[in-house]
A and B are shown apart, each in its own frame.
Chain A
Amino acid sequence: MSDIFWLNILIIGGIALCSAILLHITAKKFSIPTDVKEDQIDAVLPQANCGGCGFAGCRDFARACAHSTPTNFSTLYCPVGKSDVMQKVSRILGYNAQARKETCAVLHCNGSCQAAPQKINYEGLKNCRVAHLTTVGESECPDGCLRFGDCVSVCQFGALSIDKDTGLPVVDANKCTSCGACVNICPRHLFEIRPISENNQQVYVACQNKQKGAVARKNCKNACIACKKCALICPEITIENNLSDIPSSISPQEFGQKLKETCPTGAIIYQTQVKREKKNV
C-alpha cells in the first residue's frame, strides 16, 4: 500500500517538476518584452480608438509614441485628447510638447435646401456615397453637399447633426475632436480640419463648386462665382478653378467682417464664436 503511495507521489511530483522547468524555459525564451512606456502612454490616451491620429487605434499610437525620437515626436498628435494628453505623453517620454492650435471640422458648402432646392427626385439608397456614385444629387450641384448625412453617421463624438431647416450638417465645435472621420467619408471632400483663431473665430469659403459662375449660381444661390472681390481685400486669397480659397493663415478678426460683407453670394462664412463658452454650473 505505502509503496504505491510513494510511487505515485514520485511520478506526479516528477512530472510537475519537469513541466515547471520546461514552462520556465519556454517563458524565458519566447517572452515578448512589454514596453513600460507604451503601457504608461496607453493609460493616458482617451481610448476612443477613432483612428484620427492616423494609427490603427490608441494602442498603436502609444507604440508609435514610445518608439519616437524627439524630432519625429512633433508629428504625432492625438486629436481627441489634444494638448492636455500630448503634454502627459511628453512628460512620460521626457520630451517637450509643442502646443498646437485648436482645430475643428468645417463644411465647405452652404447649399441649403433654400439656396439649392431639390430638383431631382433621387430614389436610391439615402446615402451620400451611393448618391454621389449614381447621380449628381438632388440639388444638381456636382460638388455640393448631398444632405444625406453620412458624416453624421460616422461621427463618434456626436459633433455633427443635420439642421432641419437647411438640410446641411452642422459642426458642434465643442464636441468636435478633429479626428477626421467626416473628412474621410464625405465623397465630395467637403470637410476640412481648420484651425480656430486665438479669439475663437474662423473665416472660410463655404463652396466647392468648380463650375463657371453662371452655372454655379443657377444650381445654388450661395455658390462661389469667383468674382475675385475677396481677393481685392486680402491679397493672400487665391482664385483657382472658378473657386476662391481663403488660406487658414489669414486673421479672421482682421478680414472676416469685411470679407463677409463683400461676398455678393454669401459663400464666405465668418464665425465670430466657433466654440460656445463653457458655463460654470
Chain B
Amino acid sequence: MCNKKTFSLGGIHLNKHKISALSPIQEAGVPPLVYIPVKQHIGAPAQIIVKVGDKVKIGTLLAKANEGISANVHSSVAGEIKKIEEIEAENGYSEQVITIQTSADEYEEGIDNSEEINNDIPQSLEEIKELIKSAGIVGMGGAGFPTPIKTSIPENKSVQYLIINGIECEPYLTADGALMLEKPEQIVIGAKILNKVLGIQNAIIAIDENKPQAIEKITKITKRYIGVNVAVCKSKYPQGGEKQLITAITGREVPSGRLPIDVGCVVQNVATVFAVYEAVMKHKPLYERIVTVSGDTSITTAGNYRTRIGTPAEYLLDLAQTDKSKISKLLFGGPMMGTAATNLHSPINKKTGGLLVLQAQEATKPDESCCIRCGKCAEVCPVGLMPFAIASNLRRNNTAPLKALHVADCIECGSCAYTCPAKVPLLDYCKLGKYEVHKQK
C-alpha cells in the first residue's frame, strides 16, 4: 500500500464529511406512488410501451430504448400504471414520467431475488451483451452514459485496461463505499463479466485510501479471481473523474476532445459493475440503486438506502427523519457537482447517488469580490485550464478566445470555484464558456 496512485495536475483536498461511511445499507421500501422518468440517461428518451391502467410487476419493461444512444427503463415496483404525465424534475424543468400506484412486491419471471452469490459465468458472449443491453444499465456514477455502448469497442480500437471506479471523491456520498463493503464479491464477479465482454484480463478496481475496510475486503477476494486487481488511490478531489482516474492508474492522458477508449481504457463505476452482475447472473434489470441521504446532522440522520428508481426524494428524506422545514438547500448528488433541487418531490433516477440536505448556514454562498489574479484556480484545475482568464473574457462578452482557452475540456468539477479566495463563481463561468463554444460550432 506504499504505492498510492493519483493524477498529476491540480486537485484539491476536501473535508470528506463521510458521515454514513460505515452505516449498513437499509431497505428503503416501497412508496405508495413511484414516478419513473423515461429519460434517465444521456441521449434519446426511451419509448413508452405501456399504457394507463396496465398492471406491472417488478422488472417489467416500461419503455424501450430508442435508436442510437438510449437505454431501457423497467418498473421498480409491482402495481398499476396511474398516469403518464409530465412532472417537475429536480432542476425544475418538466420531465415525462410513468406514475405507478404500488401494491405488494411481485417479480417478473426469471428474476433471481436470492442473496446467493453465483460465480460461474456460463453464458456466451452474445448472451451477456444482450442481458446488459436489455437490463437498461447506464453509468451510475452520475453521467448516465448507457453501458452497452461504452463496452462495445469500435473495430479499429483496442482495450488494455478496465478500470472500476470505486473512488467516490465527492464529500458526504457513501453509496459506492457501502456497496463495496457489503457486496465485494459481486463487484469482483461483475468485473470478470466485463473483462469477458471486452476480451481482456486486466480489470483494476480503484479505491480511495479513505475506505480501508473496502480495500481490505476486496483485496482478499481478488486473490481468488484471475484478472481483477485492486489499486489504492490517494484521497484527492476529483480523483473519481474518468480522465483523472485513467492518468492515476495507467499514467496515460486522454487527449483533448478524445475518449478514454482512444488510450485503451474503459472506466465503469462500481455501482454499474454491480448492476452488470445482477443483470447477467440474477437476470435483474436495473430498477434499484443505493442512495446516500446525508448532510447537516442536526436536521437529518445520514444513511445508505437501497432505493427503487422513481421514489420521490421526500419519501427518502422522511425515512432519514429529516426536518423538512429546516432544509435550505437539497442537492441531488454531492456538494461539488450535484444539482440543486427546486422541489422536494422529484424522483430518484439511475444517476442519483445521494441526497444532500443543508441548512441555511452551510448553503449560503459568500459574496463575490474582485479577482486578484492569484492563479489559485489555474493551480488546482485538474485539466490545466485558466478559469480566471475564461471568466474575464466572458464578463466582457468576448467569446472569440474561448476555444483557444480549451474551455470545452472542463470537467465541471468545481475545484476552481471552491478554491477561489475572492469567491468568484468560476464554475458558472466555465459552464457558460462551454455553452458558448458549443454554440460557435
Q: Known: A123-B365, A125-B425, A153-B397. Is A134-B94 also a contact (CB below 8 A)?
A: no
Residues of B within 8 A of A142 (CB): 92-94
Instruction: Say whether B342 contacts A133, CB under 8 Å.
Output: no
- What CA separation (Å) do A142 and B93 show in the bound complex? 6
Contact segment of B123-131, B179-187, B257-265, B429-437: B429-437
Residues of B within 8 A of A154 (CB): 397
Count of A-B contacts with CB under 8 A?
Answer: 51
Q: Known: A135-B340, A142-B92. Is A129-B365 also a contact (CB below 8 A)?
A: no
Partner of A133, one of B86, B365, B425, B435: B435
A161: min CB distance to chain B, Å: 17
List residues 111-169 of chain A with CB under 8 A from any CB of chain B: 120, 123-125, 127, 129-130, 133-137, 140, 142, 153-154
B339 part of interface (Cβ distance < 8 Å): yes
Q: Which residue of A lies closest to B90 (CB)?
A: A135
Instruction: Say whether B94 contacts A125, CB under 8 Å.
Output: no
B106 part of interface (Cβ distance < 8 Å): no
Instruction: Say whether B92 contacts A133, CB under 8 Å.
Output: no
Q: How many residues of A contact B (CB 8 A)?
A: 19
List residues 198-224 of chain A with CB under 8 A from any CB of chain B: 211, 215
List residues 414-429 of chain B with CB under 8 A from any CB of chain A: 425, 428-429
B321 part of interface (Cβ distance < 8 Å): no
Residues of A within 8 A of B364 (CB): 123
Partner of B428, one of A120, A127, A137: A127
Q: Known: A142-B94, A153-B397. Is A136-B342 also a contact (CB below 8 A)?
A: yes
B103: min CB distance to chain A, Å: 29
* Highest count of chain B CB atoms <10 Å: which of A125, A130, A140, A215: A125
Residues of B within 8 A of A153 (CB): 397
B26 part of interface (Cβ distance < 8 Å): no
Instruction: Say whether A127 contacts B432, CB under 8 Å.
Output: yes
Q: Which residue of A lies closest to B328 (CB)?
A: A121
B91 part of interface (Cβ distance < 8 Å): yes
List residues 347-395 of chain B with CB under 8 A from any CB of chain A: 364-365
Residues of B within 8 A of A135 (CB): 91-92, 339-340, 342
- What CA separation (Å) do A129 and B384 show in the bound complex? 24
Residues of A within 8 A of B92 (CB): 120, 135-137, 140, 142
Residues of A within 8 A of B339 (CB): 134-135
Instruction: Say whether A125 contacts B91, CB under 8 Å.
Output: no
Provide the B97-131 mask, 1 if CB < 8 A to any CB of A, else 0: 00000000000000000000000000000000000
B76: min CB distance to chain A, Å: 26
B7: min CB distance to chain A, Å: 26
A226: min CB distance to chain B, Å: 16
Partner of B432, one of A120, A123, A125: A125
Q: Known: A129-B435, A135-B342, A136-B342. Is A124-B425 also a contact (CB below 8 A)?
A: yes
Residues of B within 8 A of A134 (CB): 91, 339-340, 428, 431
A123: min CB distance to chain B, Å: 5
- What CA separation (Å) do A137 and B92 show in the bound complex? 8
- What CA separation (Å) do A153 and B93 show in the bound complex? 26
Residues of B within 8 A of A123 (CB): 340, 364-365
- What CA separation (Å) do A129 and B342 show in the bound complex? 18
List residues 66-86 of chain B with CB under 8 A from any CB of chain A: 86
Q: Which residue of A lies closest to B368 (CB)?
A: A125
A132: min CB distance to chain B, Å: 9
Instruction: Say whether B432 contacts A129, CB under 8 Å.
Output: yes
* Highest count of chain A CB atoms <10 Å: which of B86, B339, B342, B365: B342
Residues of B within 8 A of A211 (CB): 86, 94
Instruction: Say whether B397 contacts A130, CB under 8 Å.
Output: no
- What CA separation (Å) do A135 and B397 show in the bound complex? 22
- What CA separation (Å) do A275 and B340 show in the bound complex? 43
Residues of A within 8 A of B91 (CB): 134-136
Q: Known: A135-B92, A153-B397, A154-B397. Is A120-B342 also a contact (CB below 8 A)?
A: yes
Residues of B within 8 A of A140 (CB): 92, 342
- What CA separation (Å) do A154 and B395 show in the bound complex? 11
Q: Which residue of A lies closest to B342 (CB)?
A: A120
- What CA separation (Å) do A130 and B364 show in the bound complex? 19
Residues of A within 8 A of B429 (CB): 125, 130
A125: min CB distance to chain B, Å: 4
- What CA separation (Å) do A37 and B431 show in the bound complex? 44
A136: min CB distance to chain B, Å: 3
Instruction: Say whether B94 contacts A130, CB under 8 Å.
Output: no
A197: min CB distance to chain B, Å: 33
Q: List 25 A-B contacts (CB under 8 A).
A: A120-B92, A120-B342, A123-B364, A124-B425, A124-B428, A125-B425, A125-B428, A125-B429, A127-B432, A129-B432, A130-B428, A130-B432, A130-B435, A133-B435, A134-B91, A135-B91, A135-B342, A136-B91, A136-B342, A137-B92, A140-B342, A142-B92, A142-B93, A154-B397, A215-B94
Interface residues of A (CB under 8 A from B): 120, 123-125, 127, 129-130, 133-137, 140, 142, 153-154, 187, 211, 215
Which 4 pairs show the lowest CB-CB distances between chains A and B? A136-B92, A125-B428, A125-B425, A130-B428
With A134-B340, A136-B342, A215-B86 known, 12 other A-B pairs at CB within 8 A are A123-B364, A124-B428, A125-B429, A129-B432, A130-B429, A133-B432, A134-B428, A135-B91, A135-B339, A135-B340, A136-B92, A153-B397
